[in-house]
Every structure is written in C-alpha cells, then in structure tokens.
Amino acid sequence: MDLKKLKITAQKDIKSAQNLAELNNVFKKYLGKKGELTRILRSLKDLPIKKRKTQGKLANQIKKDLELIIQERKDKLQDAKYKIQNTDFDITAPGKSPVLGHLHPLTLVRRKVAEIFQSMGFTIVQGPEVETEWYNFDALNIPKEHPARDLWDTFWLKPKNKKLLLRTHTSPVQIRYMEKNQPPLRIIVPGRIFRHEATDASHEINFYQVEGLMIDKKGKITVANFKAIIDEFFKGFFEKQTKIRLRPSYFPFVEPGFEIDISCVNCLGKGCSVCAQTGWVEILGAGMVHPNVLKAVGLNPKFWQGFAFGVGMDRLAMLKYKINDIRLFYSNDLRFLQQF
Amino acid sequence: MIFSYNWLQSFFRGRLPKPKKLAEILTMSSFEIEKLEKKGDDWVLDIDVLPNRAGDCFSHLGIARECAALLNLKLKTQNTKFQPKTQNLDIKNLLKIKVENSDLCSRYTARVMIDVKIGESPEWMRERLKVCGLQPINNVVDIANYVMLELGQPLHAFDLHKISGKKIIVRKAKKGEKIITLDNNKFNLAQDILIIADEKNPLAIAGIKGGKKAEIDKNTKTIVLEAANFDKIIIRKTRQELKLQTDASLRFEHGIDANLTEQGINRAADLIQKICNGKTSKGLIDFFPKKVFPKTIKLELDYIEQLLGVKIPKKEIISIFQKLGFTPIDQSIGVKKMLLVKIPTFRLDISIPEDLIEEIGRIYGYDHIKPIFPLAVLTPPKRNIDCFWQKKVKNILKETGFTEVYNYSFINEKDAKIFNWQQKTLIELENPLSAEQKYLRPCLIPNLLKNIQKNQKRFNEIKIFELGKVFRTGLKTGVEEKRMLTGILTGNNMFYQTKGVVDLLLNKLGISNVWYNEQEMFICKTKKCAEIKINGKGIGFLGEISAEIKACVFAIDFEKLQKHCSEEVMYQPISLYPTAIRDLAVLVPREIKVADVLNKINIAGGKLVRDVDIFDIYEGEKIQDGKKNFAFHIIYQAEDRTLTNKEIDEIHNRIIKVLEKNPSWEVRK
C-alpha cells in the first residue's frame, strides 16, 4: 500500500465524519488494532533494513499526523454536540452571587475622609467619648455661664459634681493632642459625638463628626490656606467640581470664625429641595484657632497659629448617598444597610 | 430674631437694597438670614444673630449699623437730644433708688413720668410690634417694648403709686419671698435671685419679668421708667432656674453696653411725652458707679496678612474700620505699620487684634481671599494603629458576610434589669431626653438583639456586628470606656458557625494560641457558651443565647484583642511530596471532647501528621448507649521524601495503640 495515498484517503475520511461515532470508525479503520496503518507498521519488521528505515520513518510521521487531525476533528464535533445540547440555555436567569457583608455607610464615609486628609499629611487621632467639662468647654474658650454654651446641648453624667459629660464635639481632642505634641501638626479626629436635643430628620442624639487641626509657625497657616485645603477635600470627597464659600460665624475657640457652604452637590448650584433653592449647602464650621485655646495648651500665640474645622459625617453621607433622614443611620434596618 | 425691613429702612434716607438682596448681603458678611417672608406691606427677616454680637445686634439699630457698614450708607442722625417737657417736680422728691448689689447691677437709670394717659398705642407702633412677634398691650408697655426692639435696651415701667415707700431697692431675694408676675405666674424666689423691690415686696425679677404689684393699668397716672444693666451671669442662672426666658433676659444674658441705658430711657420718655401726653419730672436718677469707656486695641498691619493670607491696602483697612464706627489712628513706628483702633462701647465682642481682623475679613469679603496651599514640611502622617486594626477587623467580618450596624450609646432601665447589671457598675445620665437613655451602654448585646428582632420579619439568616464604645464605672476618672466587638448570628445551633467566625477572625489577625474554655454566662441560657482565650488570657466569649432567641453571639474586648494582633505572615514552604490520607474512627464515652482525641493523635503522630480533620461526629442508632463515634481523616506528609506505606502504617498503628491505651476508647477497624 502506498503510504502517501493512504494518508490522503484517511484525511478525506476524517473530514467527512459527521459525528463522533463515524469518527471512531475512521480511527479504527486506520489506527485501530487491525487498522490499515497499524498493519503496515507491524509489517515493517519484515522489510530489508534500508527500506525499513525510510518506510518506518514515514509511517510513524503519518500516524502522528493522523492522530492530530482526528483529535482536532473530535474537538470540533464535540463542541458542536455541546452546542446543540445547550440551545435552550437561558442567560437571562439570575446569577448566583456569593453572600458578602456590608459596611455601615458612616464607616465608608469615614474611610474616604481619612484617605483624603491622609494624602495631605494629616494624622488620624481619636479621643474619649466621655469628657470632662474642662476639655469639652473651658479649654476651648467656652467659660461657664457663657451663653455660647447653649450652642451645645449637653448630656451630663451622674453624679453631676464630677462634671463629666458626653462630648458635644470632637474639638476636645484638639486640646488633648496639643498638650502632648509640639507643632507643627496636622490632625483629623473622626468620632462619635452627642447632643441633648429632640431627634428629627436632621437631628440625632449621637452622630459623627470629623475635626481638623493644622498648626504651624505664625504667618504660615492662613485663611487662604484653609480655603485651599478644604476645597481640595470637598472636590475629592464628592468627586465633583464643588465650589465653596465662607460666611462669618462664631465659635468661641476660633477667631475669625466662619461657616462653609458648598455648592449643592444634588443640583450643582441650580437650586433644589436639598439646598432649599439656594444652590448652597451649609456643611462645616471653621476658623483660625483662638489665642486663648493655644494658651490653654501652653503654646504661645505670638509664635503659633493655625486653623481648625469640624464637619458632620452624617451630613456628608446624607449628601453623598442622597439620604434624607439622619435617623436611618442608627435604625439598623438591613434593607437600608445592605444597599452599601 | 425677627426684624422688620421697613423699620430698618427708616434708619436711612437712601434706599436699602430689595429684601432678597439685603438678606444675601447680610448672610455673606454679617449673619445668616434664616427666613425672609412678606407680611402685609413689610418683609420679615429672621436673622440668626451670632451670640457674640447679641450685645449690639439684638436691635434694629444694630442691624441698621451693619447695613450702613456693608452698603456704605449713612445712618440718619438719631433724635438728637431729648427735650423733657418738665414739671417743677424734682425726681428726688418722688422716688428713692438703692442698689445693694452693684456687682450685679452696674447701672440703674430711672425717670418719673407724670400725667400719663394710658390707652392704645398708635397704629404704626402696633404694626411694628406685631411684625416682630410682640402683642400690643397698652401705650406705655408698648413703648418700652418698642425701644427695646429699636435700641436693644430692655426697659420696665412701674406705677409709682403702687410702690410702697416710694423706694426702689435692687437686692437679692430674701428667704421665703414670692412674686406673682405680670402673666399671673407665681414664683418662689431663691436667695440668689436678684430682684427689684419696694420697701415691702418684690416688684420684679431683675432683668427678666415684672411683677403684678406695680403693674401699669388703665388708671395709672405716674410711672417709673427703669433702664438698667444687670450682670449677664446672674440673669442666665436665674432664667435657667425659673425656666423663664423673656425678651429682656435674652438680651441681658448676652451682655449689653452699660452706656445704653440713658439713650434708652430718654427715647422712651420722649415717646411717652408724644404718645401718652406725659410729662417728665426734673432730673434723672442714674446709679452708675463704674463708668464704661471705649477700648483701644493695637493692631499690627502685618498680622492681618499673616492671618488672612491676603494683602489688603492700609487705606482700605482704615475705611473698613471707619464704616464700622471705629476710630483708627496711625501709630506706625518706622517700618512697623500699626493702627491704634478705638472701639465704641456697644461692640462688646471686640477685645483682641484677632477680633479686629475678623471685622476686616468679613467686610473685605472672604470670597476675595484666594485659596493657596500651605507650605509645610513634608512629614508623612503617623500611622494610627487603633484605626488600622479596626479597619482590618471590619473588613474580615464583612468578607464573611456580616453587616455592620451602628447603635445608640445608651440602654434603658429594662435592658439593665434583663441583663442583671448592677446599678453601681453602670453610668447613669443626669439629664436623659427619654427613658431610653437612662444609662450608657455597658455592652453592645442589648441593642444588637433589638436589631435582630426588628429585622427578623424580613430576613431569615441575620449576621450583624458592631464595633463601638462601652462604658462602666471605673477607678480613675469614674468612667471606664473601651471598644467592644460584638456579633450575632441567627439560626438553630449556630455555636460552631460562630466559633468558626471567631477562629477565622483571630487567624486573620495573626493570632494562633487560641483556646476555648467552658464558661457560664448570665447572657447565655444554654450550656453552649465558652470563654475565648489567647495565650491563656480571656478576651471575650461566645455562646448561644437561649432556647427562644435562636441566635449565637460573640463579644470580644477590642482593646485586649488588639494587643495580640500581628501583621506578620511567614510563608511555609509547600512540600513537593505527596500526601497520604488514612481514616480513623474511634468510639468514646459521650463526655470525651474532640480536643482530647485530637491532642492524642497529634502527639502520637508527630510531625509527619500534617493535618487531622474531623469529618463526622455520630451518636445514636447502631452505637451503644453513652458512646459516640468520631471519624477523622489523618493526612500524612513529609517535607523531604515520599512516605512509604510501611512508614505510614507504623505511625498509624502507633496512634491506634495510644488511643486504645484508654480502656473505654475503641478504635473501629
């Protein structure tokens, strides 16, 4: 039998096999135990040595080639069979997801705030939630019987003579940190705070604030610098080209003091229900650290100055995720929490 | 505070901007306008006057002064000089004044008005009072209120004929004294309350509310007008004690310029002359032992730029001060540019250079300050290790399918009872808003259980956790505050799932020496409860709560946990040689623990036993009573060679032998 001819007919047979059974027959015909090529290979031993060498080489090569083509044909036929079997496969049926957990939206906001400020060199600092009157008020230039104390409705602890309270802001940590660390310094203080006031869609008895403080040599940290830092923060936080504006305000621990509005992230300043049609949203209190605060921690206001600010994290989260009721954060309804 | 647009306009010859525009200008440079509303022909502005500016801006004159400064307008000159229509009666013959506490009443000014006709006040005055939210009463009372709204000086009027002994005494209340106020409320006066009295009775609670005794009525003919300056702290304390806030107390407790009394009393006398046909008796009683003079403040011009970050020309600075009614005097010495600024006494808020810089900043306009990034040393932020582990733990629990919750920091009385916490260990609130905030939470479990209850209707399997502060009485400051990590899983027989979560968590935190001790906890009504120990020290517990509450809880002291956490991970080389698995089943008495058997296997097996997995625990049918069956896969592997069957058989038989040393244990072959 002419080997080359055998190869050509075998190739034809392989090609014309229309299913796996036919292909198997073709395999048997040529490469099976009694297959034509197998027979030739077996008969090689009877040939003279010279011819045996050339013929043997050729026959083995053809065997390899045929095996390869059969495998290819087999793959093709198998795929085709699989496709036919799955013609009714419904890709629109829902996927099966693994069960993941969820972090609280305020945790997510806190992380984002921390990330932005850390990138500008601010260190994260924390402090106690139960505070003394000294740290929460007096050291912050809010003396006893001062009407400004009414700005912070306070939960007091028993016994009252101990003068312990639930911190009404994160500002006491400014004092605690400056007592132990020399400027220049840059910190943010995220944490839970408490207010003794009736709850409604925008008021809670406990909520979260992040405090910022940057102190450096006199003349090095200005209102202009504060504007740059806070503008960068809001742009990063909302990932939008927000604008800011400063209005005069009063907090005893800063002078000058201001309130910061950002252009409404909901309507981009056009006016909507979120911003009461003004295009601006009040969001943050700030100012240049009052000399009395620096004195309270033993820093000489002749040599040091800086800015401080406080922003409600619940409020940031509400604006970011378009949440209209602060109480949702503490209601722990899984239908709410599992959206984050 | 409510202000009338028309009233403000009356201070100027020129036109004010339209109400909306004016509101915008005031908001950006003075005070936020909380509401702007049309009321008849007038507009009502609800102005959020900042507390430090109450002294001068709780009045239309004050806001008008702000408008003048911001809009560069000139205020009309005020009713220049009071011209009393006097009778020859000298006030000294009509009334005596005695101030016993000059520390609490720094000034007391009085006039006596004669032949006053009590009636309705004129329409225009009634209108203005109503726009500002005050009810007209009679002409004299209305005038007193009107002057307060106009100038910021509270006034009071007494009927002279009702004053016993024709003598007014400013003193502290005596024991047992009472007063019935104008609105018919009775108050018992504590001894630290400052009152206005006659020879017999209290006539008014100083600076807060007048009394019934010397009330102006329709028959009143002769009145005493009072314009005084009371100490802000005593007024604040008294109104808090009596829970009695009035328009007068609001102004006094923020502090008022003592120089204002005379202006106020003369304005009122003038109006009484015009409106009530009254005449003014000769003279003014004015108790004013310590006069108040304008302050001067030194301001270095360089400091303005150092604080604001913008250079403002000297000319402009001087102009701003002048617009505000301050008097700047150039005091430059060589290159050191300096201003000496004289401050009118009504600006109680200004006492240091920074206060002056704030005035410059807001009038110049914060919008005109361009943002500039600070130049600072490039020190990287310090790492906060507390935050790091908090973040890590939250991430791990999230990955295992937990949802994070945030609860209130409080528990109620009922919670405390249910959990059997002793009151002396709890921190109680002095002034809770409701019974829900009786105590600070000593533990996160009560609120987490409420979360479960709330969500159970809609969710079958709940896995929640919280990482938050808990509070107990402590030694040092009285309060011990620490972070707790607590999670709950709902479902039947969740102990092992929960233990698995804790195991995984601790493992991911790089903690290896973990042990669980049997422990009874008040919270867990089942026997399935264990203490979690690391290196022999307890850090928390886990356990199933009760038969009805099908949930398992774990609670870990986060401060203790954090001390054991480690970021170190060391790679263990993967053996190149195959593993061999042999199964082993052992029948043991029921009280025997898995750990007992595992220990024996591990010790007997040595280091060629790579791992032992328990894959079945069985008791019941086909097993004799009081016994149970453990089935293990034992995985054998060496790091340096392929183990032969012979080697494995040897170890395996050794293990069996060791187990069977115990006569009640039986290895099933």
Task: For B295-368, give the CATH class.
Answer: alpha beta
Give B-chain residues touching A288 at CB under 8 angstroms.
307, 354
Beta bridge partners of residue B485, listed in sequence order: B467, B556
A 165-224: CB under 8 A from B: 166, 184, 186, 192, 194, 196-198, 205-206, 214, 216, 218-224
pLDDT, position A273: 86
Give B-chain residues touching A247 at CB under 8 angstroms.
27-29, 32, 366
Task: Tell me, yes or no, if A134 is annotated catalytic.
Answer: no
pLDDT, position B89: 83
pLDDT over 90 (residue B475):
no
User: Tens digit of pLDDT for each residue in B170-216?
Assistant: 999 999 999 999 999 999 999 999 999 999 999 999 999 999 999 99
Task: Tell me, yes or no, if A304 is annotated catalytic.
Answer: no
Task: Give the pLDDT band (50/70/90) at residue A143.
Answer: confident
Q: B32, A107: Cβ pair inside 8 Å?
A: no
Distance (Å) from the alpha carbon of B262 to chain A's nearest alpha carbon: 25
Between β-strands B186-188 and B178-180, what pairing exists: parallel, antiparallel or unpaired?
antiparallel
A 150-169: CB under 8 A from B: 150-151, 155-160, 162, 164, 166
Q: For residue B114, which amino acid is it?
A: I
Q: A334, B462: Cβ pair inside 8 Å?
A: yes
To probe the interface with A, which of B250, B307, B377, B398 has the most A CB atoms within 10 Å?
B307
Determine contact: A115 vs chain B, CB below 8 A. no
- Please give the CATH number for the structural domain made up of B2-71: 3.30.56.10
Task: Tell me, yes or no, if A152 is annotated catalytic.
Answer: yes
pLDDT, position B657: 92
Q: Please give the Cα distance from A173 to A167 (Å, whole number).
A: 10
Q: B377, A184: Cβ pair inside 8 Å?
A: yes
A284, containing H or E segment: strand A280-289
Task: Give the pLDDT band (50/70/90) at residue A338.
Answer: very high
Between β-strands A185-194 and A206-217, what pairing exists: parallel, antiparallel or unpaired?
antiparallel
A218 vs B32, B233, B306: nearest CB: B306
Determine contact: A233 vs chain B, CB below 8 A. no
Written as one string, the DSSP assignment of B121-143 is PPHHHHHHHHHTT-----HHHHH
Give me the mean pLDDT over the A65-77 stretch.
Answer: 90
Distance (Å) from the alpha carbon of A222 to chain B's nearest alpha carbon: 5
- Please give the CATH number for the structural domain made up of B385-564: 3.30.930.10
Q: B376, A121: Cβ pair inside 8 Å?
A: yes
Give B-chain residues touching A229 at CB under 8 angstroms.
373-374
Give me the mean pLDDT over the B481-503 stretch.
Answer: 94
pLDDT over 80 (residue A87):
no
- Please give the CATH number for the structural domain made up of A105-337: 3.30.930.10
Give me the mean pLDDT over the B640-660 stretch.
Answer: 92
Q: For residue B484, which amino acid is it?
A: M
∠ CA A110-A173-A232, nearest 5°, is 45
- For residues B151 and B61, the answer to whether their CB atoms sit within 8 Å is yes
Give B-chain residues touching A332 at CB under 8 angstroms.
405-407, 451, 454-455, 464
A225 vs B309, B362, B451: nearest CB: B309
- The set of residues, in sequence order, having a beta carbon less than 8 Å from that of B232 and lying 6+ positions away, is A145, A147, B252, B253, B254, B255
pLDDT, position B579: 92
What pTM does this model have? Answer: 0.87
Q: What region does B264 belong to: left with phi over 0, alpha with psi -120 to 50, or beta? A: alpha
A and B: number of Cβ contacts within 8 A: 234
Give the torsion through C-alpha atoms of B222, B227, B231, B233, to 10 deg. Answer: 80
Structural domain boundaries in chain B: 2-71, 86-287, 295-368, 385-564, 580-668
- By CA distance, what is B356's nearest residue in A? A256
A101 vs B402, B468, B471: nearest CB: B402
- CATH second-level architecture of B86-287? 3-Layer(bba) Sandwich (3.50)
- For residues B2 and B45, the answer to whether their CB atoms sit within 8 Å is yes
- For residues B604 and B654, the answer to whether their CB atoms sit within 8 Å is yes
- For residues B246 and B209, the answer to whether their CB atoms sit within 8 Å is yes
Give A-chain residues touching B51 at CB under 8 angstroms.
147-148, 150-151, 250
The beta-carbon contacts of A37-41 under 8 Å, at least 24 apart in sequence, are: A37/A6, A37/A10, A37/A62, A37/A63, A37/A66, A40/A1, A40/A3, A40/A6
Bigger pLDDT: B12 or B477? B12
Task: Tell me, yes or no, if A290 is annotated catalytic.
Answer: no
Specify the 3-state DSSP secondary structure of B311: coil
To probe the interface with B, which of A193, A222, A281 has the most B CB atoms within 10 Å?
A222
User: Tens digit of pLDDT for each residue in A114-123?
Assistant: 999 999 999 9
Instruction: Please count the other Cβ atoms lying within 10 Å of the Cβ belonging to residue B58.
Output: 24
Task: Give the pLDDT band (50/70/90) at residue A321.
Answer: very high
**Catalytic residue among A10, A26, A297, A308, which?**
A308
pLDDT over 90 (residue A152):
no
Candidate CATH numbers 3.30.420.10, 3.30.70.380, 3.40.50.1980, 3.40.50.150; the one for domain B580-668: 3.30.70.380
User: Tens digit of pLDDT for each residue in A201-257?
Assistant: 989 999 999 999 999 999 999 999 999 999 999 999 999 999 999 999 999 999 999
Q: Among the listed ranges A125-139, A141-155, B10-24, B62-76, which one has the minimum average pLDDT value? A: A141-155
A206 vs B378, B398, B408: nearest CB: B408
pLDDT over 80 (residue B477):
no
Structural domain boundaries in chain A: 3-85, 105-337
Entry field: residues in chain A? 340
Specify the 3-state DSSP secondary structure of B41: coil
Distance (Å) from the alpha carbon of B456 to chain A's nearest alpha carbon: 10
Q: Among the listed ranges B80-94, B557-571, B635-649, which one has the minimum average pLDDT value? A: B80-94
Q: Please give the Cα distance from B337 to B318 (Å, whole number).
A: 12
pLDDT over 80 (residue B606):
yes
Distance (Å) from the alpha carbon of A237 to chain B's nearest alpha carbon: 18
pLDDT over 70 (residue A1):
no
Q: B373, A249: Cβ pair inside 8 Å?
A: no
User: Tens digit of pLDDT for each residue in B414-427?
Assistant: 999 999 898 889 99
Q: Among the listed ranges A49-53, B22-26, B213-217, which one has the minimum average pLDDT value? A: A49-53
Give A-chain residues touching B254 at CB under 8 angstroms.
147
Task: Tell me, yes or no, if A169 is annotated catalytic.
Answer: yes
Give A-chain residues touching B236 at CB under 8 angstroms.
145, 147
Q: Please give the Cα distance from B312 to B326 (Å, whole number).
A: 18
pLDDT, position A42: 86
Residues B22, B28, B29, B31, CA torsion sign: positive
pLDDT over 70 (residue B79):
no
The reply to whether B2-71 and B295-368 are identical in fold is yes
pLDDT, position A82: 80
pLDDT, position A274: 85
Q: Please give the Cα distance from B497 to B400 (Å, whole number).
A: 11
Specify the 3-state DSSP secondary structure of A35: coil
Q: For all residues of chain B together, what is the average pLDDT?
A: 93
Written as one string, the DSSP assignment of B381-432 is PPP-HHHHHHHHHHHHHHHTT-EE----SEE-HHHHHHTT--GGGSPBBSS-
Q: Please give the Cα distance from B130 to B124 (Å, whole number).
A: 10
pLDDT, position A86: 76
- For residues B228 and B108, the answer to whether their CB atoms sit within 8 Å is yes
Give B-chain residues touching A252 at CB under 8 angstroms.
52
